[in-house]
Amino acid sequence: MKIHKLAGIDIGSNSVRLLVSNVLEAEEKVLFKKSSLTRLPIRLGPDAFSADGKITDENRKRLITGMRAYRNVMEVHGVQKYRACATSALREAKNGLQVVEEIYKETGVNIELISGKEEARMIFSSDMIGDVADAHENFLYIDVGGGSTELTLFSKGEIMASRSFKIGTIRLLKGMVKSSRWEEMEEWIKDKTQSLDEILMVGSGGNINRTFKLKEKKRGETMSLDTLRKLYKQLKEFDVDQRMIQFDLNPDRSDVITHALKIYTRAMKWAGAERMIVPKKGLADGIVRFLYREHFQ
């Protein structure tokens, strides 16, 4: 049996993740096994989406320290190939390129600034939607991040439409989403889904993963729109500090989870979707699978 050690780094608006995976080539089957998952609460969104639009010195230094640590973790695991991808926050920051260059100079970690469409393509490369596609004819994939929401519509196994919207949890937290943005997303979803029946939502992102866990859902189970709405109302009854205690949430999850649920529930309503499935796969998973296909398959 051949074993490959691969890693994916996801630099988002709300946090930075490192996934180290063991890829097992067993006869005709390839298995992806998580070896290590590390999440650092480095919140770049408020910097990038502010009036200044620059990553602060404080967060720049934290990001350099984090990438140096990730480099060491990958070395300890014996990682053969890695890829580091940054999404909306670092991509939109006025000094994003300078930060990327400094990180490479200080740590040797090369970071790519990828578009929303590239992010979606990378996630789809994880084959996370394979089982869903087999069981459902129509489904709308939604990934909610700190800076943007990625939507991709599938029908009969084919991508029918894809769009990135500048509506994210950090932008909502900072009051930076105009009503016109919501109207734009509503119009797009309704237009693309109006001719389709029985649409299933496929949810991705740290907040919906945490929601899935809060509702004690098992793999393969779905959550109803009504369940998500009720949880949203329940969470709104508490302030940020109280949520941390009542729902066992970290500080950087407690203040954005309601904003995420607002996005998910609105999108479901506009698509006419009554249920959502959460494969609990994201960009880092897609990176690992992309690397395997590119270098070893």
Tell me: do 10 and 90 sit in the same domain. yes
DSSP 12: -
| Mean pLDDT within 228-254 | 96
Residue 3: band (very low, low, confident or very high) from pLDDT cuts 50, 70, 90:
very high
Averaged confidence pLDDT in the chain: 92
Kindly state whether residue 196 falls inside one of the protein's structural domains.
yes
Per-residue pLDDT tens over the stretch 112-127: 999 877 887 777 655 6
Per-residue pLDDT tens over the stretch 61-97: 999 999 999 999 999 999 999 999 999 999 999 999 9
Tell me: do 166 and 254 sit in the same domain. yes
Higher pLDDT, 221 or 27: 221
Q: Residues near 68 by Cβ (< 8 Å), separated by ≥ 6?
A: 106, 107, 109
Comparing CA positions, the residue from 162, 159, 164 lying closest to residue 149 is: 164
Tell me: do 143 and 270 sit in the same domain. yes
Report the CATH number at residue 255. 3.30.420.150
Tell me: do 135 and 274 sit in the same domain. yes
Q: Residues near 281 by Cβ (< 8 Å), separated by ≥ 6?
A: 123, 126, 128, 204
Kindly state whether residue 122 falls inside one of the protein's structural domains.
no
Rounded to whole angstroms, how far apart are CA atoms 143 and 165? Answer: 11
Angle between helices 283-295 and 116-124 (to 10 degrees): 70
| Mean pLDDT within 45-61 | 94
pLDDT of amino acid 226: 97
Whole-number percent of the chain with pLDDT over 90: 76
**pLDDT at 140 > cutoff 80:** yes
Kindly state whether residue 18 falls inside one of the protein's structural domains.
yes
Kindly state whether residue 89 falls inside one of the protein's structural domains.
yes
Rounded to whole angstroms, how far apart are CA atoms 67 and 18? Answer: 9
Residue 220: band (very low, low, confident or very high) from pLDDT cuts 50, 70, 90:
confident
Q: Residues near 88 by Cβ (< 8 Å), separated by ≥ 6?
A: 12, 13, 45, 48, 116, 145, 146, 147, 148, 166, 168
Rounded to whole angstroms, how far apart are CA atoms 265 and 6? Answer: 35
Number of domains in the chain: 2
Tell me: do 178 and 107 sit in the same domain. no
Tell me: do 274 and 251 sit in the same domain. yes
- Are 117 and 164 in contact, with CB atoms under 8 Å apart? yes
pLDDT of amino acid 126: 52
Tell me: do 271 and 176 sit in the same domain. yes
Helices (H), 137-239: 169-173, 179-193, 206-214, 225-236
Higher pLDDT, 23 or 281: 23
Tell me: do 51 and 151 sit in the same domain. no
| Mean pLDDT within 154-164 | 86
Residue 191: band (very low, low, confident or very high) from pLDDT cuts 50, 70, 90:
very high
pLDDT of amino acid 119: 82
Tell me: do 83 and 133 sit in the same domain. no
Note down the domain range covering 93.
Answer: 2-117+284-295
pLDDT of amino acid 124: 67
**pLDDT at 133 > cutoff 80:** no
**pLDDT at 211 > cutoff 60:** yes
Phi-psi bin for 176: left (phi > 0), alpha (psi -120 to 50), beta? alpha
Helices (H), 108-178: 116-124, 130-135, 169-173
203 three-state secondary structure: strand
| Mean pLDDT within 155-161 | 84
Kindly state whether residue 124 falls inside one of the protein's structural domains.
no
Question: What is the number of other CB atoms lying within 10 angstroms of the CB of residue 32?
Answer: 18
pLDDT of amino acid 193: 96
pLDDT of amino acid 132: 61
Residue 135: band (very low, low, confident or very high) from pLDDT cuts 50, 70, 90:
low
pLDDT of amino acid 263: 98
- Are 160 and 154 in contact, with CB atoms under 8 Å apart? yes
Tell me: do 65 and 180 sit in the same domain. no
Beta bridge partners of 4: 23
Tell me: do 268 and 288 sit in the same domain. no
Kindly state whether residue 15 falls inside one of the protein's structural domains.
yes
Tell me: do 172 and 268 sit in the same domain. yes
pLDDT of amino acid 136: 74
Report the CATH number at residue 24. 3.30.420.40
Kindly state whether residue 239 falls inside one of the protein's structural domains.
yes
Kindly state whether residue 123 falls inside one of the protein's structural domains.
no
- Are 7 and 19 in contact, with CB atoms under 8 Å apart? yes
Helices (H), 31-173: 45-48, 57-77, 88-92, 96-107, 116-124, 130-135, 169-173
